[in-house]
A and B are shown apart, each in its own frame.
Chain A
Amino acid sequence: MANDTTSTKRLRGKVALVTGAGDPRSIGRGIAQALADEGAHVAINDVRADWLPEAVSDLEARDVRALAVPADVSDVAQVEAMFQAAVETFGRVDIVASNAGVIRWEHFLDVTPANLRLVVDVNLKGNVYVCRAAARQMIAQGEGGRIIITSSVQASMHFPITPIYGATKHAMFPFVGALALELGPHNITVNHIGPGWVRSALNDPAPGQQTDEDIEANRQSVPLKRDGLPYEMGRAVVYYASSDGDYVTGTYLRIDGGLGISKYSP
């Protein structure tokens, strides 16, 4: 478990909802942990309901309330039920980390209709449904809100064998920009974060990353010479969610150890 040493409980009393946070190794879990360490109560989502009891225990150990809200984010009815459940328990939702995503490693020429649909449904439609439900709830509350989407370093740099994933992540630029414009008058900020190489279950194992040597070579190609931690992604979400991020909307923040700035690290 990541140890928090800098928390000042800046989110005490706030309510957060984090999607795609069931797996203990996931970026979503790191986000949920960081929000909880700042004092936010957390509705924690995953499509895998069986992962959520452990997730709830993890968060409750951080002295906040936690609620399992299993749902498939690509199903609009399930998303709306998820928000309803969170509001019934906590009374409100102030912070939404729309993080759930899937990847399929396929050559462009081999992309199957099923995988195309899956990646688009979860990464693109899922964000639409979650952000829309979040915005409606926040507007109804009338006190603004914070929406933070997990895109990827792939939003701004390109890789082979993940063309559909990359497309759905790059799509977050106009999406986040449009939402920031439309929701700004409601004091709802919308931003996205770009994680670099995090050894979550999403990309461990990844093609080309089968051996210890491969993994180390990949690590050495990152300017900061290490993998990113899910909790570090969570700290960026805390920035956006806290008063530090009051005037920050429509932005993209890479948290990638410098992966995205250079083709070859010195």
Chain B
Amino acid sequence: MNDLAGKHVLIAGGLGRVTQGIARTMAEAGATIRAIYDRADAAPDWAAATPLPIDDQAALRTELRALYPFDVIVIAPPAIFYKPFLDTTDADWDRAIGGNFERAVWVAQAAALALIERQRPGSIIFLSSVAAQMPFASMSALGASLGALRALAKMAAVDLAPHDITVNVIECGWTEHEANQPYLSVAGRAHVEAGTPTGRIVTAQEIGHACCYLASDLARSVTGTILTLDGGYSLTRAVGASALQE
């Protein structure tokens, strides 16, 4: 495992159990963990946590700067939900685009400014979904927000490279996220497992390992990349070689 000893990691955005598992894995690698969350939300109970004014760009910059030191920020999408395109409301779009994209941008921007001010290298890691690269039904708002994030990460990587700040995206397949449980708890789990070449759902620990790599000193030249972490789910419609059986 990559050594994150001495690294300070901020965790932002969706702070559910997958994010919690990622944080635990990074802590096991030696990192100190602090969650940041919007003042309007409840504090997570699994990490040291600081409330911030996420929607107030100027105040967010000031308070995140005051929160220094940190080396790494992991930003998870808070708005994971499934809704048919025709039923998607203005509020749904705000929730997806505002939560998964705009707020992620503001947090990343404020974090980058704090790192630059201290003249410190850093890593920004966006957690995302393969929905940004392959379409699904009932995921138009979610997919659009994550598609925007995908593009943003690459542009930000260019802008921040001179400051030795890397920006990368991990696009996960099916996870044990709370929003997925209604589907996974019924027939969906078998369907997902059958549709995944590795035959199983990606664990939070595995996503944590990817975060450890991108946060570590081994990955200082890795920026603007999309790391697909899905057991091969996005590769293909046909899974395995059973198709050869006559």
Once A161-B243, A207-B243, A208-B244 are accepted as A-B contacts, the answer to whether A262 and B135 lie under 8 Å apart by CB is yes
Which residues from A are CB-within-8-Å of B239? 160
> Would you list which residues of chain A between 66 and 106 have a CB under 8 Å from chain B?
105
A228-265: CB near B (< 8 Å → 1, else 0) gives 00000000000000000000000000000001011110
How far is it, in angstroms, between the C-alpha of A210 and the C-alpha of B244 when the chains are bound? Answer: 10
> Would you list which residues of chain B between 223 and 246 have a CB under 8 Å from chain A?
233-246
Q: Check B244 against A263 for contact (C-beta < 8 Å).
A: no
Query: Is A221 close to B, CB under 8 A?
Result: yes
Q: Check A157 against B135 for contact (C-beta < 8 Å).
A: no
Query: Is B137 close to A, CB under 8 A?
Result: yes
Q: Which residue of A lies closest to B197 (CB)?
A: A160
Query: Is A107 close to B, CB under 8 A?
Result: yes
Measured between C-beta atoms, what is the minimum distance from B225 to chain A in Å?
A: 19
Measured between C-beta atoms, what is the minimum distance from A156 to chain B in Å?
A: 11
Query: Is B183 close to A, CB under 8 A?
Result: no
Q: Check B236 against A158 for contact (C-beta < 8 Å).
A: yes
Q: Check B236 against A160 for contact (C-beta < 8 Å).
A: yes
Q: Check B243 against A263 for contact (C-beta < 8 Å).
A: no
Measured between C-beta atoms, what is the minimum distance from B83 to chain A in Å?
A: 13
Which residues from B are CB-within-8-Å of A157? 235-237
Which residues from B are CB-within-8-Å of A262? 134-137
Which residues from B are CB-within-8-Å of A208? 238, 242-245
Query: Is B195 close to A, CB under 8 A?
Result: yes
Interface residues on A, range: 10 to 19
A202-215: CB near B (< 8 Å → 1, else 0) gives 00001110100000
Q: Check A264 against B241 for contact (C-beta < 8 Å).
A: no
Count of B interface residues, CB-CB < 8 Å: 19
Main secondary structure of the interface of A (DSSP, over half): loop
> Would you list which residues of chain B between 113 and 138 have a CB under 8 Å from chain A?
134-137
Query: Is A266 close to B, CB under 8 A?
Result: yes
Measured between C-beta atoms, what is the minimum distance from B195 to chain A in Å?
A: 7
Which residues from A are CB-within-8-Å of B234? 263
Of B239, B243, B246, most buried by chain A (CB within 10 Å of CB) is B243
Q: Which of B233, B241, B242, B245 meets A263, CB within 8 Å?
A: B233
Q: Which residue of A lies closest to B243 (CB)?
A: A208
Q: Check B246 against A263 for contact (C-beta < 8 Å).
A: no
Q: Check B241 against A160 for contact (C-beta < 8 Å).
A: yes
Measured between C-beta atoms, what is the minimum distance from A224 to chain B in Å?
A: 15
Q: Which of B134, B195, B244 meets A107, CB within 8 Å?
A: B244
Measured between C-beta atoms, what is the minimum distance from B161 to chain A in Å?
A: 26
> Would you list which residues of chain B between 25 and 52 have a CB under 8 Å from chain A?
none
Q: Check A107 against B241 for contact (C-beta < 8 Å).
A: yes
How far is it, in angstroms, between the C-alpha of A96 and the C-alpha of B176 when the chains are bound? Answer: 51
Q: Check B246 against A159 for contact (C-beta < 8 Å).
A: no
How far is it, in angstroms, between the C-alpha of A160 and the C-alpha of B245 when the chains are bound? Answer: 12
Q: Check A207 against B244 for contact (C-beta < 8 Å).
A: yes
Of A160, A259, A266, most buried by chain B (CB within 10 Å of CB) is A160
Once A160-B236, A207-B246 are accepted as A-B contacts, the answer to whether A266 and B137 lie under 8 Å apart by CB is yes
B188-207: CB near A (< 8 Å → 1, else 0) gives 00000001000000000000
Q: Which of A160, A221, A259, A266 meets B243, CB within 8 Å?
A: A160
Once A158-B235, A210-B246 are accepted as A-B contacts, the answer to whether A263 and B240 lie under 8 Å apart by CB is no
Measured between C-beta atoms, what is the minimum distance from B173 to chain A in Å?
A: 10
Q: Check A264 against B195 for contact (C-beta < 8 Å).
A: yes
How far is it, in angstroms, between the C-alpha of A207 and the C-alpha of B237 when the chains are bound? Answer: 15
How far is it, in angstroms, between the C-alpha of A255 and the C-alpha of B242 when the chains are bound? Answer: 26
How far is it, in angstroms, between the C-alpha of A159 and the C-alpha of B237 when the chains are bound? Answer: 7
Q: Check A159 against B236 for contact (C-beta < 8 Å).
A: yes
Q: Which of B136, B233, B235, B244 meets A105, CB within 8 Å?
A: B244
- Using a CB–CB cutoff of 8 Å, the interface residues on chain B facing chain A are 134-137, 195, 233-246
Besides A207-B243, A207-B245, 6 other CB < 8 A contacts?
Answer: A157-B237, A158-B235, A158-B236, A159-B236, A262-B134, A262-B136
- Using a CB–CB cutoff of 8 Å, the interface residues on chain A facing chain B are 105, 107, 157-161, 206-208, 210, 221, 259, 261-264, 266
Pairs A-B, 4 closest by C-beta atoms: A208-B243, A266-B137, A158-B236, A158-B235
A–B Cβ pairs within 8 angstroms, 8 of them: A160-B236, A160-B241, A207-B244, A207-B245, A221-B237, A261-B134, A263-B136, A263-B237
